[in-house]
Structure 1
Amino acid sequence: MSIGGKDVDNMATINGMLWIAGAGAGIILLIVLLVFFVKRKKKSPDVFEDMEGHEFEYFCADLLADRGFTEVEVTKGSGDYGIDILAQKDGVTYAIQCKRYTAPVGVKAIQEAYAGRDYYDRMVGAVMTNQYFTTPAVEAAKKLKILLWDGGYIEGMLEEN
């Protein structure tokens, strides 16, 4: 069939083919994204899931040592004034509170790092966790000048090794 000198059947066929190609490209893109996220998930499983708190502290100490921290020391389990790791890097001394949690970390951990930093006479206080931080914890950390190293930060450190 011809309208105005153009073959309508051929145009419909071409439009249909373009639509199918576009839909196919979209499906392929979706599959590629799904494969990427599944592989990423498998690549970085929650290695902390079966760790107890003290095991997580030693894991963090080893990770810090691998990242150039020196004089890395895990404090004793009780009476540590909220600090689990003492370390140094580039002349800066750190007091680090470790939290292996199944939920976001709250303000209490920030308070412990703040108090422990002063108790151990360290320059920097930090909280290191496999999780993330609540909004009040982030606000407290900003006010008290405590570093927050969350699960994403730890994952980045692991990928760098």
Structure 2
Amino acid sequence: MTRKDKDDISEILWTGLVGLPALAAFVIGFHLSHSAGTAGIIAGVIAGIGIGILLLRRISADEKLKRSGTHDIDKMSGRQFEYYLGHLFRTQGYKVQVTRESGDFGADLIIQKDGKIIAVQAKRKKGSVGIDAVQEVQASIAHYKAHEAWVVTNSRYTEAAKSLARSNRVRLVDRNTLVEMINKVNPKGLPSSPASIDR
């Protein structure tokens, strides 16, 4: 199950947690007061509290997204995104090598930590990332003598890409996971502006 699916289920559950208590409050209120008006007021108050909680959750999620600076990332060129990811991985303790712009053999970054070499392909784009990215980074493992391969994007993946990644043990980092990574290392800040991302 993807993170998006989990988020959708969570939203449905929270919506249910607003509706069910309001309905229960109406039934109990009507049973005790024998007045539809009084029961409606009680149910309205309960629903209002629930809606307030939902709004706070949504605002919190929006603030998390803003802190991550993904809108800045969306404006970067592909090469700027590669260097930005290099900065991000360094803050997580990785040794980072950004590969050359052309002839990179399928990996944009080679990151190392605890003796493990990981080939990373960076995909900064608007649409969904397809199977090509998975195929290319998987092919780079032998060339770079890597132990793992990752694809990192500011976007989403097609179902075909997810399926191929699973069968080839390629880790896919999507927009939501990228947001979490950024907030973990930089909870109050934003990424550098696109123009300032360099080597």
Q: Give 5+ residue unaligned stretches, structure 2.
A: 1-31, 186-199
Larger relative strand fraction: 1
Report the counterpart of residue 98 of structure 2 in structure 1: 74
Runs of 4+ in 1 over 4 A off after TM superposition: none
Q: Distance in 1 between matches of 2:33 and 2:162?
A: 59
Change (3 A) 1:11 1:31: closer
Asked if the contact 1:67/1:157 (under 8 Å) is kept, the reply is no
Matched, 1:134 2:153: no
Matched, 1:34 2:55: yes
Worse-superposed segment, 28-37 or 57-66? 28-37
Q: Give 5+ residue unaligned stretches, structure 1.
A: 1-9
**Greater relative contact order structure (CA < 8 Å, 6+ sep):** 2
One-letter identity of the residue aligned with 2:75: D
TM-score relative to the length of structure 2? 0.69
Asked if the contact 2:131/2:161 (under 8 Å) is kept, the reply is yes
Q: Distance in 2 between matches of 1:39 and 1:122?
A: 38
Report the counterpart of residue 81 of structure 2 in structure 1: 56
Asked if the contact 1:128/1:150 (under 8 Å) is kept, the reply is yes
1:26: how far off?
0.7
TM-score relative to the length of structure 1? 0.84
Report the counterpart of residue 11 of structure 1 in structure 2: 33
Structure 1 or 2, whichever has the larger Rg, is: 1
- Number of aligned residue pairs: give it: 150
Asked if the contact 2:128/2:156 (under 8 Å) is kept, the reply is yes
Give RMSD over aligned pairs: 1.8
Q: Distance in 2 between matches of 1:82 and 1:18?
A: 64
